[in-house]
Amino acid sequence: MLGEKGLACSIAEAQTDYLIGRGRHHDARAVLGVAIESARHTGDRRMMAALRICMGMTELFASCVDPARHWFEEAASLSRRLGEPGELARAMTGLGAVALQSGDTAAAEAHIKTAFEVFPRSDDWGASSAHSTLGFTRIAQERQEEALACFRVALARARMVDRPRVQSRTLLCMADAHFALGQPHEAQPLLHEAATLATAAKDLMLLALTLVRLGTAAHQEGHPDAAMPYFGRALTVRRSMTRENEPQWGRVEMDIRCRVGRAHLTAWRRDEARQQFQAALALPDASAYDLERAQAINGLQACAAHNPTAADSADPPQ
């Protein structure tokens, strides 16, 4: 019986990345909840912390920051008590991501520093995650060149474990750093590879985010019409998601439509641009997303002012 419980725990841990990648957060919670209870009877010390980290990641990707913090803190406490440095490092990386999502870059950096101090040298996946989280922190601190250096290390470690989803997400992060540096041309090959990997991983959200950035890269290179097919594909992928499986679907569509609107404005198609900004504001829960709502309002103002250049430069790529 103990063997069966141990197998159930291993399966739950292995399935977490698959379920998160498909936005099935509810399913991940259900599977992990049963596994966490079973882990108490297996005698596997690592698994007790590992499953809590999986639950923390599930909550983090579901944008539930407080529950995520709870699970990572439990995992860190267990890992210290049971002498599991690898799981402690992953828990601290998770706490760093939670702090970053809460806007506390100093705390994020401190947590990641602790993670680096205890990571086993052979843990490529964990090290990739920690370097990516540090890269996000550097972007938030507007230290873009340092962010790129972090993401390059993260990508090299991610390639060692051959996880398409991890590699795709890291390439996307690198592209965002290039956008912030005003280098859309450098972002494009990274995004093409990221899109291929996201497709292989069947991660719809990651694919949509990659496609919309390919559109932005084409737009910023001076080709707004070439951007439109990418934006169209991103919207098609977004329609494959549901609110139940992806809580950020509304924000994603608002962002895509704002980018489409800005590209139309650059091409002097004010009516088409206005339709996109209005569609963004008409989405359910649009008022909950301050940044995207501000972009749509600014876009409508730019339509009225007949000024496409101002609208195009009003917001940095995200």
Question: Residues in the chain, how many?
Answer: 318
Show Cβ contacts of residue 249 under 8 Å, excluding neighbours closer than 6 positions.
Answer: 238, 241, 242, 243
The DSSP annotation for 264-306 comes to: HHHTT-HHHHHHHHHHHHHSTTGGG-HHHHHHHHHHHHHHHHT
Q: What is the model's pLDDT at position 228? A: 97
User: pTM for the complete prediction?
Assistant: 0.80
Q: How confident is the model at residue 294, as a pLDDT?
A: 96
Backbone angles phi, psi at 173, to 5 degrees: -60, -45
pLDDT computed for residue 309 by the predictor? 47
CB 109 within 8 Å of CB 95: no
Quote the CA–CA distance of 270 and 291 in Å, as a whole number. 22
Residue 312: predicted pLDDT: 42
Shortest CA distance to 135 belongs to which of 94, 170, 166? 170
Residue 243 Rama label (left phi>0; alpha psi -120 to 50; beta): alpha
User: Are the CB atoms for 112 and 93 separated by under 8 Å?
Assistant: yes
pLDDT at 317: 35
For 156-179, the pLDDT digits (tens) are 999 998 888 889 999 999 999 999
pLDDT at 306: 60
- Spans of the chain, pLDDT less than 50: 1-2, 308-318
Q: What six digits make up the tokens of 161?
A: 């474990």
CA distance 180 to 61: 23
